[in-house]
Structure 1
Amino acid sequence: MPAKKYKVTLSAEERQILEKLTTTGKTAAYKMNRARILLKADQHQADGGWGDQAISAALDVSVATIERVRHQFVEEGFEAVLSYTRHD
Structure 2
Amino acid sequence: MAECELGCLTRQCLAGRRLEELRLLQEQIAAWSADLNARQRGVDRQMTAEDVRRKLKSVYSKIIL
TM-score, normalising length from structure 2? 0.27
Greater RCO, 1 or 2 (C-alpha within 8 Å, sep 6+): 1
Q: Which structure has the larger Rg over C-alpha atoms?
A: 2
TM-score, normalising length from structure 1? 0.22
